[in-house]
């Protein structure tokens, strides 16, 4: 139960983070700078909480997950949005609920269960009904790259979560990504509003969201956790419309219901 609650908290935080990160990009923060700044802030917040009790093997797994997940995966997702729009990025990128299960089975981390697979199908169907669109443009390739990167990174993160605390895992990942992306980030001349939104995204999405995400994986496994996060983009749209007092389309309610059913089925199976 605690694992499911942690996964849902991570989903909630990721949902709040999405419009914050988008606001940063709208104010001139490039994808490279956004990755660097978010991880720098997360590193500063979480460093005092990490105990660094981690084996050499687990450390290697964490570093690889960092390169693939919040590194290559997030960058590709941001590029997909820029190239082909939000609908294409979500439709293609969030097929990672399937690629994560495939890699988990392929690497022998978790057995492929029928209930979990059906839960993923329900979740993706809800996501497509609410926000999906016909994949188009060069962003499809970036979306596919994001899906593969997130899928494999999630499996590696699930393995690492059994060997170290969520704080240690999150700190190691951010410590790697900051020096990798900072040299390619043009920080001079950025508007203060953009920097503020990027920093806030680092706190909400990484310092808080990623910690709950990693902990959930250690409790309920990779498949159930990634399926839970498929609710993120729908909740982001609902929050955005609620805050701006605009009408919430019935398709969002239907989509969220299907995703919730998929989450429940996958958790019950596990």
| Mean pLDDT, residues 111-118 | 82
**Element housing 199 (H / E):** helix 192-201
DSSP assigned state of 118: H
pLDDT band per the 50, 70, 90 thresholds, residue 243: low
Say how many C-beta atoms besides its own lie within 10 A of residue 4's C-beta.
Answer: 19
The alpha carbon of 246 is separated from its chain's Cα centroid by a whole number of angstroms, namely: 26
Per-residue pLDDT at 262: 80
Q: Is the pTM of this model over 0.75?
A: yes
Q: Are 180 and 63 in contact (CB under 8 A)?
A: no
What are the residue ranges spanned by the domains of the chain? Answer: 2-269
pLDDT band per the 50, 70, 90 thresholds, residue 45: very high
Which of 4-8, 69-73, 141-145 has the lowest average pLDDT? 69-73
Residue among 130, 138, 121 at smallest CA distance from 83 = 138
Instruction: Encode pLDDT of 249-264 as tens digits.
Output: 788 788 878 888 887 7
E-only strand ranges, 55-186: none
């Amino acid at each position: 139960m605690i694992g499911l609650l942690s996964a849902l908290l991570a989903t909630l935080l990721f949902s709040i983070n999405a419009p914050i990160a988008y606001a940063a990009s709208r104010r001139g923060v490039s994808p490279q700078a956004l990755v660097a700044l978010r991880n720098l802030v997360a590193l500063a917040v979480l460093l005092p909480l990490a105990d660094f009790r981690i084996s050499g093997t687990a450390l290697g797994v964490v570093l690889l997950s960092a390169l693939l997940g919040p590194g290559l995966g997030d960058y590709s997702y941001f590029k997909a949005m820029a190239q082909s729009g939000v609908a294409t990025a979500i439709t293609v990128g969030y097929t990672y609920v399937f690629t994560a299960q495939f890699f988990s089975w392929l690497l022998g981390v978790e057995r492929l269960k029928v209930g979990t697979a059906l839960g993923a199908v329900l979740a993706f169907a809800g996501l497509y009904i609410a926000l999906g669109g016909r994949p188009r443009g060069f962003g499809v390739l970036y979306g596919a790259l994001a899906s593969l990167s997130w899928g494999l990174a999630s499996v590696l993160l699930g393995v690492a979560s059994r060997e170290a605390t969520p704080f240690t895992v999150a700190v190691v990942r951010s410590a790697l990504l900051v020096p990798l992306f900072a040299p390619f980030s043009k920080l001079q001349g950025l508007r203060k509003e953009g920097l503020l939104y990027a920093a806030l995204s680092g706190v909400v999405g990484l310092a808080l969201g990623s910690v709950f995400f990693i902990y959930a994986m250690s409790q309920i496994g990779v498949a159930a956790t990634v399926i839970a996060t498929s609710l993120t983009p729908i909740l982001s749209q609902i929050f955005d419309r609620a805050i701006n007092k605009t009408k919430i389309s019935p398709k969002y309610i239907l989509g969220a219901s299907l995703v919730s059913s998929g989450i429940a089925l996958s958790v019950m199976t596990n």
